[in-house]
Amino acid sequence: MKPKKRIPRTAPAAPLSSSWGEVASWYDDLLEKNADTYQTQVILPNLLRVLALRKGERIVDIACGQGFFTRACARAGASPVGADISEELVGLARVQSPKSIPFHVAPAHRLAFAGDEAYDTALMVLALQNVGSMDAAYAEARRVLVPNGRMVLVINHPAFRVLKHSSWGYDETTRTQYRRVERYLSAKKISVDMHPGKKNGAKTVSYHYSLQDIAKSLHKNGFVISRIEEWISHRVSGSGPRKEAEDTARKEIPLFMMLEVLKRDRP
């Protein structure tokens, strides 16, 4: 039997908890040992294109997980810092990253290690769905950004990927694959079984926010949206009667949304 990966432990300044702690090793293996993930094939190249990083650009990667995107920013010449509420994920980030990249155990709403106006850019990549209070997280991001600093958010597309309330469907008559959405506008806290079918398996918590929720919270906390992109799947179906419909749906119905927002002066 393959030995279970040891998760390094850190010593946070204050007791913190994260539903991702129990699945840290699984998430790490997903990103580091699988080259065909959405993170690697879709998000990373698009994110680096949008960021167009300058050498030495100061970046805070909020809810950085095990540092996958933080390390990519460093390789591109930036000077990143990573933070995550999960002690286990931060431990993995520290082990797998150059010692020149600092990582801190800290929740998105309380970046105690960061001074005011300390960073040029803030990142939140596939993290908003794990943040219970957008207002608090955005307010903290605003605090640590320089005047006119930017924040780049990458989220599961809020209109098409509503956890437990959206799914793929297929119309046999028109031979069309479509996306079924049962609810969208209502914010919702959702319990997620990370290993369906496994008794007493690890669970995480996810939050659904509509695009309207996100935009209102950004405006409330002093940000203006400067850029929006929608990113599609890179995958292609194998041969079969639904191949054309599936491939068309992948091109037409995006998986992810990117928002670049700028810190603005208060009126």
Asked if 231 and 257 touch (Cβ cutoff 8 Å), the reply is yes
Q: Is pLDDT above 90 for 73?
A: yes
pTM of the model: 0.86
Q: Is pLDDT above 90 for 33?
A: no
Residue 74's CATH number: 3.40.50.150
- Give the model confidence (pLDDT) of 83-95 as tens digits: 999 999 999 999 9
Considering the domain boundaries, does residue 245 fall inside one? no
Amino acid at site 31: L
Considering the domain boundaries, does residue 130 fall inside one? yes
Q: How confident is the model at residue 231 (pLDDT cuts 50, 70, 90)?
A: very high
Q: Which helix (H) or strand (E) holds 167?
A: strand 166-171
Output the pLDDT for position 7: 37
Angle between helix axes 87-96 and 24-33 (nearest 10 degrees) is 30
pLDDT: is 223 or 163 the higher one?
223
CA distances from 67 to 54, 71, 171, 175, 245 (A): 19, 6, 41, 42, 36
Average pLDDT, the chain: 88
Considering the domain boundaries, does residue 137 fall inside one? yes
Residue 84 domain boundaries = 21-157+208-236+256-263
Structural domain count, the chain: 1
Q: Which helix (H) or strand (E) holds 25?
A: helix 24-33
